[in-house]
């Protein structure tokens, strides 16, 4: 199978591209390297630095490609509130440009979009299933939902198969740890392992669905060959609901340090609950998450160099870095 992974030098993209390559598929990666790291990719993977909105570049990397994974996107929820036009331009415009290019080259059989659980927003019904009406509350979520609509509409019109995987809170080695608004797991793991404080918005009782990267990759890989996926939206999560307080306590056990939590009760913790219903993923993809939260956190801690005992991160101070609640 000949595969293109847009955003393939990012966190999920590198794990996916390496897994496909090691299974014997021919893999190309397109990434603008704004936040990607091509050094994490297997050396035999072809990497093209470029913008997903650039049509000539897309025509080049799509030659002879049968399956496209579309992961290229801006992904910061807080930044999307500040710069909604940029998020629309890249996440929606980039998706449309890619789909047009797939139409033009004429041989792409299936396009798999990495969508987001943020499209659900605040839902009374939990776990959330794919038939619920999306309630996106931030521009990032709006951009992902719009990308889904373009994917399915153009798929029907052009003739390629289309599937969108709504990924919940993925974590694992290489997870991004930016200097502000860092995801809760790598942020808390670094802070606790280095005896810093963890700032939690609200009272920490808000819940999320944390899914280990290997399970995410398993679902993505299955989506390339599974029958009956055309036109489907499919949740990819752990199916386990975990509060931020319980998550921080579990990280403390893994790193063998007592967490020091500072609660910012005036800051919004985001939606109160979010957990995935995985029935459709199991039925269509044969997907069953294999890695428990504690086991995944332990793998993350033991394999990511940023958390080795005695080493201090150079990315940000230990005490005052707040995170933006995942899965807003």
User: What is the set of active-site residues?
Assistant: 140
**Hey, which residues does 29 pair with through a beta bridge?**
5, 47
The CA distance from 185 to 190, in Å, is 9
Q: Which residues of 298-307 are buried (b: 16+ CB within 10 A; e: fewer)?
A: bbbbeebebb
DSSP strand E in the chain: where?
2-6, 26-31, 46-49, 67-70, 110-116, 161-167, 169-171, 197-201, 207-208, 210-212, 232-236, 242-243, 260-264
Residues 40 and 47: beta-carbon distance below 8 Å: no
Closest Cα to residue 106, out of 29, 160, 30?
160
Residues 4 and 30: beta-carbon distance below 8 Å: yes
The CA distance from 265 to 261, in Å, is 12
Residues 12 and 167: beta-carbon distance below 8 Å: yes
Residues 33 and 9: beta-carbon distance below 8 Å: yes
The label of the residue with tokens 């049509």 reads 55
Query: At residue 288, what are phi and psi to the nearest 5 degrees?
Result: -135, 115
Strand-pair category, 207-208 with 242-243: antiparallel
The CA distance from 52 to 145, in Å, is 18
Q: Which residues of 272-296 are buried (b: 16+ CB within 10 A; e: fewer)?
A: ebbbbbbebbeebbebebebebeeb
The CA distance from 58 to 101, in Å, is 6
């Amino acid at each position: 199978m000949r595969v293109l992974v847009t955003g393939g030098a990012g966190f999920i993209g590198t794990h996916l591209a390496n897994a496909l390559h090691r299974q014997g598929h021919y893999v190309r990666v397109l990434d603008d390297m704004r936040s990607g790291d091509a050094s994490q990719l297997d050396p035999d993977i072809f990497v093209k630095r470029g913008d997903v909105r650039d049509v000539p570049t897309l025509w080049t990397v799509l030659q002879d490609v049968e399956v496209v994974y579309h992961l290229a996107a801006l992904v910061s929820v807080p930044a999307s509130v500040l710069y909604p036009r940029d998020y629309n331009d890249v996440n929606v415009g980039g998706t449309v440009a890619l789909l047009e290019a797939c139409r033009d080259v004429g041989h792409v059989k299936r396009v798999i979009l990495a969508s987001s659980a943020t499209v659900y927003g605040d839902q009374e019904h939990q776990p959330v299933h794919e038939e619920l009406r999306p309630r996106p509350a931030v521009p990032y979520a709006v951009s992902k939902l719009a990308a889904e609509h373009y994917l399915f509409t153009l798929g029907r019109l052009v003739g390629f198969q289309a599937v969108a995987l709504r990924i919940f809170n993925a974590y694992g080695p290489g997870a991004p740890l930016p200097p502000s608004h860092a995801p809760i797991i790598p942020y808390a793991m670094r802070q606790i392992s280095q005896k810093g404080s963890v700032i939690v918005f609200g009272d920490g009782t808000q819940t999320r669905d944390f899914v280990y990267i290997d399970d995410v990759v398993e679902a993505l890989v299955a989506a390339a060959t599974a029958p009956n996926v055309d036109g489907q939206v499919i949740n990819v999560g752990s199916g386990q609901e975990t509060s931020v307080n319980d998550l921080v306590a579990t990280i403390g056990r893994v790193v063998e340090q007592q967490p020091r939590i500072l609660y910012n009760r005036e800051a919004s913790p985001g939606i109160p609950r979010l957990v995935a219903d995985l029935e459709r993923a199991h039925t269509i993809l044969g997907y069953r998450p294999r890695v428990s939260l504690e086991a995944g956190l332990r793998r993350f801690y033991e394999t990511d160099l940023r958390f080795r005992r005695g080493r201090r991160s150079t990315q940000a101070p230990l005490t005052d870095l707040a995170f933006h609640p995942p899965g807003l």
